[in-house]
Amino acid sequence: MLSRVADALFWLSRYTERAENNARMLDVNLQLMLDAQLINSKNQQHWESIIFTLEDNELFKKHYPEITKDSVVEFITFDRRNPNSVYSCLALARENARTVREQMSIEMWEQINRMFLLFRSGEARQMFQGSTYEFFKWILEGSQLFQGVTDATMSHGEGWEFIQLGKYLERADRTSRILDLKYHVLLPTGEQIGGNVDTIQWMAVLKSCSALEPYRKHYRGLVAPWKVVEFLVKNPTFPRSVLFCVHSVDESLHKITGVDRGDFNYKVEAERLSGKLLADLSYITIAEIFEFGLHEYLDRMQLRLIETSNAIYTAFCEWLDTEEPKPSQLQEQIG
């Protein structure tokens, strides 16, 4: 398949996943604010940590005088100046989709297009003002519908594998960031581990990854930090755990290159990196992670995911140059 097409499918999928994850994180935290009056005093710190986790600190400060619930929600949901806002992600997803329409099913395109048009027409904001709950639910469902339609209507060939790569790399990155958010909220203040607020927050972490119920089925009893970390990093069957995502990335990469699992093509560095990451994740213990330092471990994980993403580009799309044509050169006999 064309390298440019592979690249567009990859990013189309990544941006859709990112929009969904942003919406879920905001939704969970807005609800958390309703639950826990206890953390009202740390309200600002809480929202700050979200911005920090997304690594959009500087951009945010450039455009907003102070960190409040409203400004953070606006920045992450609607602000086009933020390239990672839900709106921007949907616009970028659609822009990528537009370049590869002929590779997707009509249903996929319609779904992406519909979500974007709702933002552009202002209807999304009206919905948001009517009910934030309904609004975020609509985004989550929209993104899930897209992934479902993709599974059900697109051939599971090479293009589909690139969509999987984008989705799982983004998701692995996001799960590790959400876990890291916890670190920013709690540890610097020296809060008692195991307190009531703490439990609610760990539950929020699980909810941010749609993991609360699967977690409860897996570990009965109370929510404990090391168990949450274990579940979100190492659970082999939960589809948002880092291990699951890296496993999927590795699988798709091998399907694309045709090399057997467990082996790697010496020319495809991405395959070696994903295989190595998968092995590390499989054999590390939770005790070792905490010993290494949770934040340090997650930080390193994010770097390795970025490294893998870059290596994927190098392996399949390196020869693309990205010069934008000038509008004056775009004429045709439109008649």
Partner 1 sequence: MGNFFEGYMTESFFDEMFESVGNVRPHYRKLFDRYGGMSIKDFEKKRAAADNAFLSQGVTFTVYSDQEGTERIFPFDLIPRIIPRKEWEHVENGLGQRITALNLFLRDIYHEQKIVKDGVIPEEIIRSALHFRPEFMGFDVPKDIYIHICGTDLIRNNDGNYLVLEDNARCPSGVSYLLENRQAMKRVFPNLFSRYLVRPVDTYCLELLDVLRCIAPNANSDPNVVLLTPGIYNSAYFEHSFLARTMGIEIVVGADLVVQDGIVFMKTTQGLKRVDVIYRRIDDDFLDPLVFRKDSVLGVPGIVDAYRRGNVSLANTIGTGVADDKVTYCFVPKMIKYYMDQEPILYNVDTYLSYFDADRAFILENLDKLVVKSANESGGYGMLMGPYATREQRDAFRKAIEANPRNYVAQPVIQLSRSPSFCDDHFEGRHIDLRPYILFGEKITIIPGGLTRVALRKGSLVVNSSQGGGSKDTWVLNE
Q: Considering the complex, state which of residue 105 and residue 210 has its C-beta at the smaller distance from partner 1.
A: 105
Q: What are phi and psi of 66, to 5 degrees?
A: -145, 160
Q: Provide, rounded to whole angstroms, the least separation between the CB of residue 106 and partner 1.
A: 7
Say whether residue 35 binds partner 1 (CB under 8 A).
no
Rg (CA), the chain: 21
Q: Provide, rounded to whole angstroms, the least separation between the CB of residue 274 and partner 1.
A: 16
Return the half-sphere exposure (C-beta side, CA atoms, 13 A cut-off) of residue 73: 18
Say whether residue 332 binds partner 1 (CB under 8 A).
yes
CB 77 within 8 A of CB 88: no
Which string of b and e fits 205-233 if b means at least 16 CB within 10 Å? bbbbbbbbebbeeeeeeebebebbbbbbb
Among positions 304-323, residues that touch partner 1 (CB under 8 A) are 316-317, 319-323
Say whether residue 260 binds partner 1 (CB under 8 A).
no
CA angle 225, 246, 89 (to 5 degrees): 90
Q: Which range, of 38-46, 226-234, 293-301, 327-335, touches partner 1 by CB under 8 A?
A: 327-335
Q: How far apart are the C-alpha atoms of 96 and 86, rounded to whole Å? A: 15
Tokens of 30: 């807005």
Q: Provide, rounded to whole angstroms, the least separation between the CB of residue 247 and partner 1.
A: 22
Question: Could you give the residue ranges of the DSSP H alpha helices within 195-268?
Answer: 196-208, 212-218, 225-234, 242-257
Query: What angle do the packed helices 225-234 and 158-186 form, to 10 degrees?
Result: 160
* Binder among 41, 129, 237, 331 for partner 1 (CB under 8 A): 331
Say whether residue 156 binds partner 1 (CB under 8 A).
no
CB 264 within 8 A of CB 328: no
Q: Considering the complex, state which of residue 3 and residue 31 has its C-beta at the smaller distance from partner 1.
A: 3
106-110 LR contacts (CB < 8 Å, sep 24+): 107/149, 107/153, 108/146, 108/149, 108/150, 108/153, 108/154
Q: Considering the complex, state which of residue 2 and residue 222 has its C-beta at the smaller distance from partner 1.
A: 2
Say whether residue 330 binds partner 1 (CB under 8 A).
yes
Site string for partner 1, 166-205 (x = CB under 8 A): ----------------------------------------
Q: Which range, of 35-43, 141-149, 291-299, 325-333, touches partner 1 by CB under 8 A?
A: 325-333
Say whether residue 120 binds partner 1 (CB under 8 A).
yes
Q: Considering the complex, state which of residue 190 and residue 325 has its C-beta at the smaller distance from partner 1.
A: 325
Site string for partner 1, 81-110 (x = CB under 8 A): ----------x---x--xx-xx---x--xx
Q: Provide, rounded to whole angstroms, the least separation between the CB of residue 300 and partner 1.
A: 29
Say whether residue 267 binds partner 1 (CB under 8 A).
no
Say whether residue 2 binds partner 1 (CB under 8 A).
yes
CB contact set of 29 (below 8 Å; sequence gap of 6+): 46, 47, 50, 204, 208
| Residue with token string 């609360």 | 212
By C-alpha distance, which of 164, 172, 171 is closest to 6? 164
By C-alpha distance, which of 174, 186, 141 is closest to 53? 174
* Binder among 61, 81, 114, 216 for partner 1 (CB under 8 A): 114
Among positions 42-71, residues that touch partner 1 (CB under 8 A) are none
For binding to partner 1 (CB under 8 A), which residues are involved? 1-6, 91, 95, 98-99, 101-102, 106, 109-110, 113-114, 117, 120, 158, 256, 316-317, 319-327, 329-335
